[in-house]
């Protein structure tokens, strides 16, 4: 029997919001999701940022949900008029949108406990495409939801993160990608030719070169990434040796 290669599971993220595109709000969810997904064996392969336009959100969802195992959206599920993600996901799947009974129960209990008013604006946070499954929100209670392989999360980072931790047990991952980062005070051009040879030697390892300027000196960080620990370790050893041969002193960094 031929040995099986590593299992790869992939995901895409859609960041929704005019405030992201205008620069008024700085996104903090992408880096969190990339790391958290990798921890459960899911590789983030693509990210799109789209405006608060139903057709554009629906088009992005439909473009990605057939290409990746999971799609995550962030933003646009609040109580205001421009929170249109639920309607956009409904449009993408051809589903009507209505008040989810379970979400309504959660909001009623929450506002009864806090003494707040469950007004029509807040009730918008209970709207989902019909048949959607809820994603728990331990922070502010208004739930996210899932339709097939598309998970809809809040845009507020602390809420997005809490929602992800609530759902991550549902994700079926593959073999995680591990990384080793090694820096050296050598120019990229000095390393380039030899790195090409190492990439050919280790096709199962992705090699990236990232120049830097620190303490008045130029250099480069070489990041090796792979699902195969043995190949990754061997490639890292060769990278360190290469740096020494070129007159550099390899420095270990966080991957």
pLDDT in tens, 120-159: 999 999 999 999 999 999 999 999 999 999 999 999 999 9
Q: What is the CATH number of domain 178-253?
A: 3.30.70.600
Instruction: Reply yes or no on whether the pLDDT at 255 is more than 60.
Output: no
Closest CA to 62 of 34, 37, 42, 90: 90
Report the pLDDT value the prediction gives residue 222, as an integer from 0 to 100. Answer: 97
Contact, 208 vs 222, CB < 8 A? yes
Model pLDDT, residue 215: 85
Indicate whether 2 pLDDT > 60. no
6 falls in which pLDDT band (50, 70, 90)?
confident
Tokens (6 digits) for 14: 């859609």
Structure-model confidence comparison of residues 50 and 81, the more confident one: 50
pTM as predicted: 0.88
At residue 82, the pLDDT reads 87
Helix (H, G, I), strand (E, B) or coil at 104: helix
What confidence score (pLDDT) does residue 73 get?
A: 98
| Spatial distance between the Cα atoms of 190 and 177, rounded to a whole number of angstroms | 28
Kindly tell me the number of DSSP H helices and DSSP E strands found in the chain. 9, 12
Ranges in the chain annotated CATH 3.30.70.600: 178-253
Closest CA to 251 of 191, 186, 203, 197: 186
pLDDT, tens digit, 9 for 90 and up, residues 67-118? 999 999 999 999 998 899 999 999 999 999 999 999 999 999 999 999 999 9
The encoded tokens of residue 42 equal: 């899911």
* Position 3 confidence tier, pLDDT thresholds 50, 70, 90: low
Q: What is residue 247's DSSP assignment?
A: T
Residue 132 phi, psi (nearest 5): -65, 150
- For CATH 3.40.980.10, the residue range(s) in the chain are 10-170
For the cut 90, the answer to whether the pLDDT of residue 66 exceeds it is yes
Within 8 A by CB and 6+ apart from 92, the residues are 57, 58, 59, 61, 62, 65, 150
Strand partners, 218: 213
Beta bridge partners of 20: none
For residue 70, give the nearest of 157, 163, 173, 154 by alpha carbon.
173
Fold of 10-170: Molybdenum Cofactor Biosythetic Enzyme; Chain A (3.40.980)
């Amino acid at each position: 029997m031929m040995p099986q290669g590593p299992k790869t599971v992939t995901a895409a993220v859609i960041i929704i919001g005019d405030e992201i595109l205008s620069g008024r709000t700085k996104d903090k969810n992408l880096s969190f999701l990339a790391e958290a997904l990798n921890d459960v064996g899911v590789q983030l392969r693509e990210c799109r940022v789209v405006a608060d336009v139903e057709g554009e959100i629906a088009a992005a969802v439909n473009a990605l949900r057939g290409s990746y195992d999971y799609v995550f959206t962030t933003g646009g599920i609040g109580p205001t008029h421009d929170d249109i993600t639920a309607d956009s996901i409904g449009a993408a799947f051809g589903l009507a949108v209505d008040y989810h009974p379970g979400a309504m129960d959660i909001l009623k209990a929450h506002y009864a406990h806090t003494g707040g008013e469950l007004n029509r604006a807040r009730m918008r946070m209970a709207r989902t495409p019909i048949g959607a499954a809820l994603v728990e929100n331990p922070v502010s209670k208004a739930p996210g939801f899932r339709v097939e392989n598309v998970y809809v999360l809040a845009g507020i980072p602390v809420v997005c993160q809490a929602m992800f931790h609530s759902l991550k047990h549902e994700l079926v991952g593959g073999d995680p990608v591990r990384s080793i980062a090694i820096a050296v005070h050598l120019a990229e051009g000095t390393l380039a030719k030899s790195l090409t040879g190492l990439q050919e030697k280790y096709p199962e390892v992705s090699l990236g070169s990232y120049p830097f300027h620190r303490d008045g000196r130029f250099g480069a960080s070489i990041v090796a990434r792979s699902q195969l620990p043995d190949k990754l370790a061997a490639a890292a050893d060769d990278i360190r040796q290469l740096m020494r041969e070129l007159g550099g002193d390899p420095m270990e960094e966080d991957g």
